[in-house]
Structure 1
Amino acid sequence: MRFINTALAAATALVTAGCASVGSPEGGPKDTTPPTLVSSNPTNQQLNVNTNTISLEFNENVQPISVQKELLITPFTDNKYRIRFKDNNLSLIFDKPLQDSTTYIFNFRNGIADITEKNVAKGLRLSFSTGSYIDSSRVSGKVLNLLTQEPEKDAVVALYRANDTLDIRKSRPYYQIQANAQGEYSLENVKEGTYKIFALQDANTNSLYEEIERIGFKAEPITVTPDSQYVVLQTARIDTKKPIGLQRQKFLDRFAITYTEGISRITAKTIGSADTVSSKIAPDGKIAELFRSPKFNGGKLLVAVLDSAGNSSLDTIQVDFGTDYTQRVQGAQLKVINGNQQTQTYRPGQKLTIALQGQVKINGANPISIQADSVNKTSLKYPEQINLDKTQTELTFTVPKLAARQQPYSIVIDSTQLVPVHNKKFPIQPIPLTIAEAQGFGSVKGTIAGNQQNFILQLLTTQNKVLKEVRNQRNFHFTDLPPNSYKLRVIRDENNNGKWDQGSADFKKEPEQIYMHPDLIEIRANWDLEDIRIQL
């Protein structure tokens, strides 16, 4: 709600344009020194201030840089102000006198810079009181990204008076401060009292919460006193939007629905008979496919989907089938999630899935073979070694031991034994298969101690992608790990539902807490890492 006088802004633009050539002398050293505050009115920590103008004088010429967005005034005020600047002076002129008997803090963040190189006067902060004393209560702490336990850089920490009905989605906080790059914050000169506290990944710097941003909070208000207290806030996204079907496509053997976001579960039942229709979720997580079968050849379905945050949608959908196969899968190809078919490597003993362009039935005992040439060939038996899923579009088997790992292999599918259900052929070519060299694998084992009854232990990559997880196992052992660096994360699964639960949208329930093992897990070939102890 703050503004710059229009005429003044225009004049400033002209002045700036006229001074466009100002800079360091050609060939001279670049100016890297930020401006320094020489004096101010009122002065820092001054009492009994009675003015509607805040004046700052610097040791060199300065300019405002998005001051309306950068300047944090606490406690929050809707008292509008104009900005006036000339040479090395900058003033804020308020429409009305400041509130009586109030301690004010002006935090300019990145809002003032010099003219020549736009060096920012970082850490510029002015505090004073319109009464006879300066409030001395304070709260400090740290802001962390909950799921990674890494610092939430530059998060805004906000206080709202506990008895206020102000909403962080619509109203700016009464007090606020920006955490540093390490996530550390210290909010000082606060009036003693009880407050609701939040930490906000303020992506658009408007000090208001939007659902795309991570937010941390305490479900219960905190009491801020002159005695120092330390509050850790952990941010996470709160997803309240239900999945919505954006696009529907009909193919020969399936009906595809594209949703607005990733889904984790789908069920589809016929209306009336309540028969379950075969379905699956595509690797990208956003496409749900409903499949044709002898019992279902089209009609109305009741389709329920659930996303990872627990948001659900239920729709009645008219399903019809088309005449062509989907183009999402071409013939037969390796199914890879979060990877690339061209670079994925496999090893003996590892599960492998082939996605098919259409539904098939198997009329033979050896529909798949792995071969390097006509002599070096390993045939797989059906159904002993090969599984055809319920949608009839995926084949899964365990990679057998092979004679040599260095030479290239191909997965060859016998099209005479793999017959399209709907009597329309699709091309099936040999699939290149890269077998990992015999470098050896490692493992990690350990124990989880403490009173926490329900938990989920996850093995992560260094990019925080979940590779493996176990539930409620005090003694854990992750095996067959390629040499690499890994992380261990524990979710405190308070309601024992097998997943991490986010905080409530009304901020009355905090998200389930996370423990991150402090050290990277370094796995070496043919080596078992033991005695990892996690205390909950």
Structure 2
Amino acid sequence: MKRLKKIFLTIFLSIPILIEFLGCANPLPPSGGPRDTTAPKIKKFYPISGQTNYKENYVEIEFDKYMDKNSVQQNTTIIPALKTDFDWSGKELKIKFLDKTEENTTYSITLGSEIQDWKGNKPDEAFSIIFSTGDVIDSGKITGKLISANPVGASIFLYKLPNDTFEIKSFDITKEKPNYNIQIGSSGLFEIKALKNGYYRLIAVRDIFKNGIYDDGEDEFCAYTDDIYIKQDSIVNVKIKLGPVIDNLGPMLYDVIPLSNKLIEANFSEPLDSNFLFPISILLRKSEEKDNDTAIKPTSIIFSPESRYKLLIFVSENFDTSKSYRLECKSDKDISLRDTIGNIIRDTANSIVFKPVAKELKLFPTLITPPLKDSSQNVPPDKEFYFVFNIPLKRQYYDKSFSLTNLAENSAEKINISFKTDNIIIIKPEKKLSGDSWYVLSFQSDSVFSIENEKFTDSTYKYHFKTADLRNYSGISGSLKTNVVCSGDFYIIVKNQLTKTYIQTKINNKMEWKFDDLPPGEYEFEVFCDEDNDSKYSYGVAKEFKFSERFFLPKDKVTLKPRWKIENYQLEILDK
């Protein structure tokens, strides 16, 4: 009997603890039925947005679903910032202010587009409550759209600029947190309300670390085209394109692996630019020596077949295996190794000491990547053909080694032969090939030698291919009508809505443009002003701040039919 009483007492005393535990946990909706994929919505909230003279120390929000509490708390922004406590009761949330609100101040509380319910569903756009502790709601507004293939989770950062011109010039967005941080939903649309009079700077970022500040070299980025002036009751509409991560850091050399007594492998932190693989950019000398005259000279540098992060460095003489050597990448803007963006190798991570090996390695040239598969079809008539070999070749004339023949006419096509790197040969026809025609590209290897004078295995490689039928292709040409003043050239882009591919061309001085040989399909247009004259759209710069270039999205959509060209199409963009 006493034992039963003890068990009963233990269960009775555990009930309050169990209730408290369950209350703290995320409440789960009833199970069963089809999977819920609908976006969560807000049913009620307090105060109403636009409330003035608000004196309470909380806001209340009721959802139509059970929410993931952590996602709501992590994606709620209060501006100006206040310390808060999140108090849940089922689907209802009370956000309590632990700090005292300031007098005559407009506050904005935003639940970002990354909040989610217990099924992982996210809202279509962010939600905001705006109230003022004084008589006036600051009523300036910025509305807009973020253009991105995946806008969800990106953010709009808005900074209130100082009034002093000098302070604006020294303003650094990489060191300042924004006054407003708005998360973007699937629609890309955003709205920033209750803005005070003054100038603002707007950027788009994908805040990878969720730290509320732009991290240079880590976050995707774009600056708006200009600073924005806001006054009471004004509404400014903007469009901004989210750009890629801005890479300002050069590659680093982090390992050297001896492969033989005349070959080493150098590993880098990122892919390198094949246009700057110069033997003179590498210095190899005994680690205790400083005289460059005694250095071993590389004869060739090529990419490893494994990766563009790795270089194979061939030298003219054997390493002294009793000594250690230092590999140093020269820091010279004209010849230095660099990444694919153009950043030169860092001078703080450009050298490594290594111990060579006595191993002898005799390498014979072989073809490791052919230009295309035999019997390929739908080959572009203007294609260039790349032959990739395992080791560096002698740079000599190979006119008799390569040929291109039109099989229907049994006629030879004139070709240009060049080297991309010491192990990559490019074959380019002098003129565009005929459409819907069979060709054979031949490679006779008996006259190909490595830099060590090793001969290629005597063989003939043949690659038959059929070019695409351009008669089924289409095209469009026309002119641009605009009142936009551009200090550079206008460029026009056509985007295929099915394949998501695009082609770009420059609009000439007569404001005329033309696209030939486009696959049939539906196309949209984009026009941008190339103000820095680099032939590509510029997203701006965060450090040493620069605005992005202006771009325009005409509403025009055209359908190009097979074997049908559209001419004299007038595209119009206006600077409103």
Q: TM-score, structure 1 length as denominator? A: 0.71
Amino acid corresponding to residue 86 of structure 1 in structure 2: S
Q: Shift in Å at residue 195 of structure 1?
A: 2.8
Please tell me whether residue 530 in structure 1 is matched to residue 562 in structure 2.
Answer: no
The residue number in structure 2 matching 1:240 is 248
Residue 101 of structure 2: aligned partner: 98
Residues 458 and 388 of structure 1, relative CA distance in 2, 3 Å threshold: same
Equivalent residues of 2:495, 2:502 under 8 A apart: yes
Matched, 1:430 2:430: no
| 8 Å CA contact retained: 2:114, 2:122 | no
Partner residue in 2 for 1:139:
142
Equivalenced residues, count: 511
Q: Tell me the alpha carbon deviations over residues 279-331 of structure 1, each in whole angstroms, 9 at most, x when there is no partner.
A: 77899994586886999x9997634245565533366779999966899x951
Residues 306 and 312, structure 1, Cα contact 8 Å, conserved in 2:
yes
User: Partner of 2:385 in structure 1?
Assistant: 352
Q: Which residue of 1 aligns with 2:198?
A: 193
Aligned twin of 1:5: none
Task: Report the counterpart of residue 229 of structure 2 in structure 1.
Answer: 222
Contact 2:225 2:549 in 1 (8 A): no
1:214-293 alignment runs, 5 A limit: 214-217=221-224, 219-220=226-227, 222-237=229-244, 238-246=246-254, 258=268, 260-261=270-271, 263=273, 265-266=275-276, 268=278, 269=280, 286=308
Pairwise CA RMSD of aligned residues?
A: 5.5
2: CA distance between counterparts of 1:293 and 1:123? Answer: 60
Residue matched to 1:127: 130
Aligned residue in 2 for 1:107: 110
| Secondary structure, counterpart of 2:74 in structure 1 | helix
Summarize the Cα distance change of 1:158–1:364 in structure 2 as closer, same or farther, 3 Å threshold.
closer
* One-letter amino acid matched to 1:260: E
- Post-superposition Cα deviations, 1:2-30, rounded to whole Å, max 9, x if no partner, equal xxxxxxx998754466965x516x66997
**Offset from partner CA, 1:337-359 (integer Å, 9 cap, x none):** xxx89967536665433233341
* 8 Å CA contact retained: 2:253, 2:266: no
CA distance in 2, matches of 1:306, 1:364: 30
Gaps in structure 1 of 5+ consecutive residues? 1-8
Give the equivalent residue in structure 2 for 1:304. 336
CA shift, 1:96, in A, is: 2.7
Paired residues for 1:114-513 under 5 Å: 125-145=128-148, 152=151, 155-163=154-162, 168-169=173-174, 171-203=176-208, 205-210=210-215, 211-217=218-224, 219-220=226-227, 222-237=229-244, 238-246=246-254, 258=268, 260-261=270-271, 263=273, 265-266=275-276, 268=278, 269=280, 286=308, 302=330, 303-307=335-339, 309-313=341-345, 331=367, 333-335=369-371, 345-346=378-379, 350-358=383-391, 359-360=393-394, 366-369=400-403, 385-389=415-419, 391=421, 393=423, 394-398=425-429, 411-427=441-457, 430-436=461-467, 438=469, 440=471, 441-447=473-479, 452=486, 454-455=488-489, 457=491, 462=496, 469=505, 474=510, 475-481=512-518, 490-506=527-543, 508-513=545-550
Superimposed CA distance per residue, residues 138-180 of structure 1 (whole angstroms, 9 cap, x where no aligned partner)? 22233334xxxx7945643333221298865455432343445
* Contact 2:256 2:264 (8 Å CA) reproduced: no
Unaligned runs of 5+ in 2: 1-16, 284-291, 320-324
Contact kept, 8 Å, 1:333 with 1:431, in 2: the verdict is: no
Q: Which amino acid aligns with 1:156?
A: S
Give the direction of change, closer, same or farther, for the CA distance of 1:505–1:35 in structure 2 (3 Å limit). closer
TM-score, structure 2 length as denominator? 0.67
The worse-fitting range, judged by mean Cα deviation, of 262-271 and 491-500 is 262-271
| CA positional deviation for 1:533 | 4.4
Structure 1 residues 293 and 112, CA gap change in structure 2 (3 angstroms): closer
Aligned pairs for 1:5-154 (under 5 A) are 14-15=22-23, 22-23=29-30, 37-38=43-44, 40=46, 42=47, 44-56=49-61, 64-75=69-80, 77=81, 79-87=82-90, 89-109=92-112, 125-145=128-148, 152=151
Q: Return the structure number with greater helix share.
A: 2
Counterparts of 2:316 and 2:561, CA distance in 1: 51
Q: 1:397 to 1:256 in 2, by over 3 A?
A: farther
Q: Secondary structure at the match of 2:234?
A: coil
Shift of 1:181: 3.5
Provide the rounded CA distance (Å) in 2 between the counterparts of 1:154 and 1:94.
26
Cα distance in structure 2, aligned partners of 1:60 and 1:361: 70
- Tell me if structure 2 keeps the 8 A contact 1:201–1:215: no
> In the superposition, relative to structure 1, how do residues 207 and 399 fare at CA in structure 2: closer, same or farther (>3 Å)?
same
The AA in structure 1 aligned to 2:401 is P
